[in-house]
C-alpha cells in the first residue's frame, strides 16, 4: 500500500452549532496531521467558537480513521421560563377552628367564606421569560428563546385591569369560586343542604341561598338577601336586604330574623322578626315578636296573629287577631319602632353639646377672671388656650340648633298617625290590645271584621 | 325682644333670684347671673350679652367700678347698662349716669316697670 498523508474533512451541522470532523490517519511514510494544521483549517472556515482542543489533539494522535468527531460546539440559546399564574387572594374556605379561653372549640365558626370586594386583585399572569443567548461556531450571537406563554382567562365576575393586561380584578363583590379550573366571583353563596355543624356559620358579602334548614344556634349574615328553602329554628338570620324563608320560623324564642328591607316567611312561632320595611307572613304568627318599619301582613283567608306583639309604623293586618282562648296579643301601629332609639340619640347629642357649652363657658370665664386679676394680661399658653376655647364654643350653638331641628322633624313625623291602621279581615278576639300612637283600646268581645284607626285622638273601631 | 340675653349682677343670691324671676316674668327668659363685678366682667367677656343689669354695692368690684371697666373695654363698651339699686339719692343717680349707665331703677320694682325701663334703654 502506498504512503498516505493524514487528512481531515469538516462538516458544519446542527444549524452551525457543531463542526464534525472525519479523520484519516497517515499510512506508511505519509505525513501526520498536527493540531495546528487542524486549527488553521478551522480558521480558514471562520470557525472561532467552541473549539475542543483536547479532542483535536486526541484525534490527531489516533492511528485509525475517525469518521465523526465533534471538534467544535457552539453554545445553544436557552428556553425561557414558561408563563404562570400567581394568585393574589385566598381562594378556598379553610377550616379555622377557634378555641375559646377554656379550650372549648367553636365548631360553628369554621372560618370566613373567601370573598372579594369590587376591584380586589385576584390573580396575575407572570409572563414567560427569554432564555440566555447562544453563540454558534462562527461566533454569531443567537438570541435566547421565549418560554411558553398562556392565555389569560377571566371568569364570571372578574375583569382584566385596564392599566395592567396581566392583572385580573374582581368586577363584582361576592364569593371566590373555582369552577372548571377558572376563578369566578359569584354574588350568591349556595349552601347545599342545611346550615349545621357541617356548614358552620355563614357570613358573606352578597346573597346567600340555602337549600335546607337552619339549625338552632347557627348564624347567617349577608349584605344582600338570604333565601332559605327549609325552616329556621332558634337561629340568627341577618340580611342587608330581604330574608325569604320558604318554610316557617319556629323555636323557643332565642333566634332572630332581621332584614334591611322585607321579610317573607310561611309561618312564625315564638320568634323575633325585625324588618326595616315590611313583614309578609303567608300564614300564621303565634307568640311572635314582630317589628316592621312599615307594615306587617299575615296573608291568607285563615291567617292569624295570636299572642306576642306585632309593631309597625303604618299597618298590621291579618284575617284574625287574637284567639277564642283570649290569648293576650298586642298590636302597635303609628310609631316607628326605631323612633325611641333615634330620639334618644338626638336628645343625647343635644344634652352633650349643651354640657360642653356650659363647661367651655365656665373655663372661659375663669380665664377672663385671671386676665382681669393680672391687669388684662395672661401668660401666652393661657392666652392660646382662651382663643382655643372660644373657637370651640362658637361651633356648638350651630350644632345644638341642627340637632334641635332634627328632633322637631322627628316629632313632627310621629304626629302623622292618621294613616296608621290595624285590620282584621275576619275577626278580633278578647284580650287583643290595639295601640295607635300612644292611644290604645283593649278588645273585650268577639268582634267581626274590624279596622282600627285614630279618630279625634282616640282609637276607634270601624267596620271593615 | 324675648331673645334678649341679660346678665344680672348682685352679690346676694336671694336678690339675684328675685331679680331673675322678675326679669323672666317681664318676658326675658334668657338671662344669666354673676355674683360680683369681677365675675360679671369675665362673663361679659366670655359671652355675648345684650344688656347688663347690675347692683351698686358689691364686694371685689362694685357696680360703678364694673360700669367704668365695661366702658373702657373695646369689645364691651357699647353694651347697654341698667343700674339696679336701693340708693335713690339724686347725687348717686348723677354719679351713675356720669360713669356711663344707660338707665337707673330703684329696688323694689315690678315686672311692668322693669319691662318699660328695658324697652326705654334698648330703644
Q: Whole-angstrom Cα distance, residue B44 to residue B48? A: 7
- In the prediction, which pLDDT does A109 show? 58
pLDDT-wise least confident of A405-409, B1-5, B78-82: B1-5
Please indicate, yes or no, if residue A299 is contained in any of the structural domains: no
Q: If you measure CA to CA, which chain A residue comes closest to B73?
A: A376
Number of domains in chain B: 1
- In the prediction, which pLDDT does A429 show? 94
Residue A271: closest CA among A317, A308, A315 = A308
Q: Whole-angstrom Cα distance, residue A400 to residue A390? A: 16
Does the pLDDT at position B115 exceed 90?
no
Give yes or no for B25 touching A (CB within 8 A): no
**Shared-domain flag, residues A359 and A376:** yes
B87 SS3 class: coil
Q: What is the mean pLDDT of chain B?
A: 87
Optimal mutation site among A360, A372, A374, A386, interface B, most CBs of chain B within 10 A: A372
Does the pLDDT at position B1 exceed 90?
no
Interface of B with A in 33-92 (CB under 8 A): 38-39, 41-43, 45-47, 69
Q: Whole-angstrom Cα distance, residue A232 to residue A203? A: 17
Residue A194, CA distances (Å) to A197, A216, A231, A232 in order: 9, 11, 10, 10
- In the prediction, which pLDDT does B49 show? 92
pLDDT-wise least confident of A321-325, A334-338, B68-72: A334-338
Q: Whole-angstrom Cα distance, residue B27 to residue B118? A: 11
The CATH number for B93's domain is: 3.40.50.2300
Interface of A with B (CB under 8 A): 361, 364-366, 368-369, 371-373, 390
pLDDT-wise least confident of A185-199, A264-278, B84-98: B84-98
CB-based contact A372 B43, cutoff 8 Å? no
Please indicate, yes or no, if residue B1 is contained in any of the structural domains: no
Please indicate, yes or no, if residue A460 is contained in any of the structural domains: no
Residue A28, CA distances (Å) to A6, A64, A158 in order: 10, 13, 82
Please indicate, yes or no, if residue B76 is contained in any of the structural domains: yes
**Shared-domain flag, residues A261 and A220:** yes
- In the prediction, which pLDDT does A95 show? 45
Which of A123, A153, A185 is the endpoint of a domain? A185
Residue B67: closest CA among B8, B86, B120, B56 = B56
Q: How many other C-beta atoms can be found within 10 angstroms of the C-beta atom of residue A140?
A: 12
pLDDT in tens, A363-410: 999 998 888 888 888 889 988 999 999 998 888 999 999 999 999 988
Optimal mutation site among A354, A359, A368, interface B, most CBs of chain B within 10 A: A368
| Dihedral-angle region of residue A240 (phi above 0 means left; psi in -120 to 50 means alpha; beta otherwise) | alpha
| Gap from B109 CA to chain A (nearest CA, Å) | 30
Q: What are the two backbone dihedrals, phi and then psi, of residue A232, each rounded to the nearest 5 degrees?
A: -120, 125
- In the prediction, which pLDDT does A457 show? 80
pLDDT in tens, A432-459: 999 998 889 999 999 999 999 988 888 8
Please indicate, yes or no, if residue B100 is contained in any of the structural domains: yes
What value does the mean pLDDT take over residues A54-72?
90
The boundaries of the domain holding residue B57 are 6-118
Please indicate, yes or no, if residue B41 is contained in any of the structural domains: yes
Please indicate, yes or no, if residue A297 is contained in any of the structural domains: no
**Shared-domain flag, residues A155 and A218:** no
Within 8 A by CB and 6+ apart from A381, the residues are none
Please indicate, yes or no, if residue A425 is contained in any of the structural domains: no
**Shared-domain flag, residues A177 and A195:** no
Number of domains in chain A: 4
- In the prediction, which pLDDT does B94 show? 81
Residue A25: closest CA among A57, A79, A63 = A63
Indicate the pLDDT class of residue A422, thresholds 50, 70 and 90: very high
Residue B60, CA distances (Å) to A193, A275, B15, B57 in order: 84, 65, 18, 10
What value does the mean pLDDT take over residues A70-93?
86
The partner residues of A10 in beta bridges, in order of sequence, read A21
Residue B4: closest CA among B67, B49, B53 = B49
pLDDT in tens, A283-330: 899 999 999 999 999 988 889 999 999 999 999 999 999 999 999 999
Does the pLDDT at position A430 exceed 90?
yes
| Gap from A322 CA to chain B (nearest CA, Å) | 52
Residue A321: closest CA among A437, A455, A433 = A433
The boundaries of the domain holding residue A231 are 187-277
What value does the mean pLDDT take over residues B95-123?
84
- The 8-class DSSP code of residue A278 comes to -
> Angle B111-122/B13-25 helices, nearest 10 degrees?
80
CB-based contact A369 B38, cutoff 8 Å? yes
Please indicate, yes or no, if residue B33 is contained in any of the structural domains: yes
Residue A360: closest CA among A382, A379, A385, A325 = A385
Query: Between the ranges A190-194, A431-435, B72-76, where is the mean pLDDT highest?
Result: A431-435
Q: Whole-angstrom Cα distance, residue A248 to residue A285? A: 10
**Residues A333, A440 contacting (CB under 8 angstroms):** no
Q: Whole-angstrom Cα distance, residue A412 to residue A422? A: 22
What value does the mean pLDDT take over residues B23-30?
89
- In the prediction, which pLDDT does A321 show? 95
pLDDT in tens, A152-178: 989 889 999 999 999 999 998 888 878
Q: If you measure CA to CA, which chain A residue comes closest to B69?
A: A372
User: Can you read off the three cell numbers belonging to residue A463?
Assistant: 267596620
**Shared-domain flag, residues A39 and A91:** no
- In the prediction, which pLDDT does A94 show? 46
ipTM score assigned to the predicted complex: 0.76
Which of A371, A386, A415 is the endpoint of a domain? A415
**Shared-domain flag, residues A15 and A95:** no
- In the prediction, which pLDDT does A102 show? 63
| Gap from A372 CA to chain B (nearest CA, Å) | 7
Chain A contact set for B41 (CB, 8 A)? 368, 372
CB-based contact A368 B47, cutoff 8 Å? no
Please indicate, yes or no, if residue B24 is contained in any of the structural domains: yes
DSSP string computed for A56-112 = HHHHHH-SS-EEEEEEEE-BPPPB-PPPEEEE-S--SPP---EE-TTS-EETT---P
Does the pLDDT at position A223 exceed 90?
no
CB-based contact A365 B39, cutoff 8 Å? yes
- The 8-class DSSP code of residue A214 comes to B
Please indicate, yes or no, if residue A354 is contained in any of the structural domains: yes
Please indicate, yes or no, if residue B123 is contained in any of the structural domains: no
User: Can you read off the three cell numbers belonging to residue B80?
Assistant: 347697654
Within 8 A by CB and 6+ apart from A375, the residues are none
**Residues A78, A145 contacting (CB under 8 angstroms):** yes
Please indicate, yes or no, if residue A323 is contained in any of the structural domains: no
CB-based contact B39 A364, cutoff 8 Å? no
Q: What are the two backbone dihedrals, phi and then psi, of residue A99, each rounded to the nearest 5 degrees?
A: -95, 140
Please indicate, yes or no, if residue A301 is contained in any of the structural domains: no
Residue A286: closest CA among A313, A238, A251 = A251
B68 SS3 class: helix
Chain A contact set for B42 (CB, 8 A)? 365-366, 368-369, 371-372
Please indicate, yes or no, if residue B51 is contained in any of the structural domains: yes
Q: What is the mean pLDDT of chain A?
A: 88
**Shared-domain flag, residues A102 and A178:** yes
Q: How many other C-beta atoms can be found within 10 angstroms of the C-beta atom of residue A228?
A: 27
What value does the mean pLDDT take over residues A128-133?
94
Indicate the pLDDT class of residue A335, thresholds 50, 70 and 90: confident
Percentage of the residues of chain A whose pLDDT score is greater than 70: 94
| Gap from A361 CA to chain B (nearest CA, Å) | 7
Chain B contact set for A386 (CB, 8 A)? none
Indicate the pLDDT class of residue B95, thresholds 50, 70 and 90: confident
**Shared-domain flag, residues A356 and A384:** yes
Q: If you measure CA to CA, which chain B residue comes closest to A386?
A: B46
Does the pLDDT at position A208 exceed 70?
yes
Does the pLDDT at position A193 exceed 90?
no
Q: Whole-angstrom Cα distance, residue A361 to residue A373? A: 18
Indicate the pLDDT class of residue A116, thresholds 50, 70 and 90: confident
Please indicate, yes or no, if residue A44 is contained in any of the structural domains: yes
Amino acid at each position: 500500500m502506498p504512503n498516505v498523508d493524514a487528512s481531515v474533512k469538516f462538516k458544519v451541522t446542527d444549524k452551525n452549532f457543531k463542526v464534525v470532523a472525519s479523520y484519516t490517519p497517515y499510512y506508511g511514510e505519509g505525513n501526520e496531521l498536527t493540531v495546528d494544521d487542524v486549527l488553521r483549517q478551522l480558521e480558514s472556515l471562520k470557525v472561532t467558537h467552541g473549539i475542543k482542543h483536547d479532542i483535536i489533539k486526541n484525534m490527531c494522535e489516533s492511528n485509525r480513521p475517525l469518521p465523526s468527531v465533534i471538534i467544535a460546539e457552539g453554545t445553544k440559546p436557552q428556553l425561557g421560563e414558561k408563563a404562570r399564574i400567581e394568585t393574589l387572594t385566598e381562594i378556598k374556605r379553610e377550616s379555622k377552628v377557634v378555641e375559646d379561653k377554656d379550650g372549648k372549640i367553636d365548631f360553628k365558626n369554621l372560618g370566613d367564606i373567601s370573598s372579594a370586594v369590587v376591584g380586589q386583585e385576584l390573580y396575575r399572569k407572570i409572563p414567560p421569560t427569554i432564555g440566555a443567548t447562544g453563540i454558534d461556531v462562527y461566533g454569531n450571537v443567537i438570541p435566547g428563546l421565549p418560554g411558553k406563554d398562556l392565555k389569560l382567562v377571566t371568569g364570571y365576575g372578574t375583569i382584566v385591569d385596564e392599566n395592567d393586561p396581566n392583572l385580573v380584578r374582581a368586577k363584582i363583590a361576592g364569593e371566590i369560586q373555582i369552577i372548571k379550573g377558572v376563578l369566578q366571583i359569584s354574588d350568591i353563596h349556595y349552601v347545599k343542604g342545611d346550615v349545621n355543624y357541617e356548614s358552620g356559620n355563614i357570613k358573606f358579602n352578597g346573597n346567600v341561598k340555602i337549600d335546607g334548614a337552619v339549625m338552632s344556634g347557627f348564624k347567617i349574615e349577608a349584605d344582600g338577601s338570604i333565601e332559605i328553602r327549609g325552616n329556621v329554628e332558634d337561629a340568627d338570620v341577618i340580611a342587608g336586604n330581604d330574608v325569604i324563608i320558604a318554610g316557617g320560623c319556629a323555636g323557643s324564642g332565642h333566634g332572630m330574623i332581621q332584614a334591611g328591607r322585607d321579610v317573607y316567611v310561611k309561618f312564625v312561632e315564638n320568634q323575633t322578626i325585625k324588618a326595616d320595611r315590611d313583614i309578609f307572613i303567608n300564614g300564621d304568627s303565634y307568640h311572635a315578636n314582630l317589628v316592621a318599619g312599615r307594615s306587617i301582613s299575615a296573608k291568607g283567608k285563615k291567617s292569624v296573629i295570636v299572642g306576642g306583639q306585632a309593631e309597625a309604623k303604618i299597618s298590621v293586618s291579618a284575617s284574625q287577631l287574637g284567639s277564642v282562648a283570649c290569648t293576650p296579643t298586642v298590636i302597635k301601629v303609628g310609631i316607628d319602632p326605631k323612633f325611641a332609639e333615634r330620639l334618644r340619640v338626638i336628645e343625647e347629642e343635644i344634652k352633650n353639646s349643651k354640657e360642653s357649652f356650659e363647661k367651655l363657658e365656665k373655663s372661659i370665664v375663669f380665664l377672663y377672671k385671671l386676665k382681669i386679676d393680672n391687669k388684662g394680661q395672661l401668660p401666652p399658653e393661657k392666652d392660646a388656650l382662651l382663643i382655643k376655647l372660644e373657637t370651640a364654643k362658637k361651633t356648638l350653638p350651630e350644632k345644638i340648633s341642627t340637632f334641635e331641628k332634627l328632633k322637631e322633624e322627628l316629632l313632627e313625623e310621629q304626629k302623622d298617625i292618621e294613616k296608621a291602621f290595624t285590620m282584621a279581615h275576619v275577626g278580633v278576639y278578647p284580650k287583643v290590645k290595639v295601640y295607635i300612637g300612644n292611644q290604645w283600646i283593649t278588645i273585650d268581645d268577639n268582634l267581626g271584621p274590624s279596622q282600627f284607626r285614630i279618630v279625634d285622638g282616640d282609637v276607634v273601631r270601624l267596620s271593615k | 325682644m324675648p331673645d334678649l340675653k341679660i346678665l344680672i349682677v348682685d352679690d346676694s343670691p336671694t336678690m339675684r333670684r328675685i331679680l331673675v324671676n322678675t326679669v323672666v316674668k317681664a318676658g326675658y327668659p334668657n338671662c344669666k347671673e354673676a355674683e360680683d363685678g369681677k365675675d360679671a366682667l369675665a362673663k361679659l367677656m366670655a359671652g355675648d350679652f345684650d344688656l347688663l343689669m347690675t347692683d351698686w354695692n358689691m364686694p371685689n368690684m362694685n357696680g360703678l367700678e364694673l360700669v367704668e371697666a365695661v366702658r373702657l373695654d373695646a369689645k364691651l363698651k357699647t353694651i347697654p347698662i341698667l343700674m339696679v339699686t336701693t340708693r335713690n339719692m339724686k347725687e348717686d343717680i348723677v354719679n351713675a349716669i356720669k360713669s356711663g349707665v344707660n338707665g337707673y331703677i330703684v329696688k323694689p320694682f315690678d315686672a311692668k316697670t322693669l319691662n318699660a325701663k328695658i324697652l326705654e334703654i334698648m330703644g
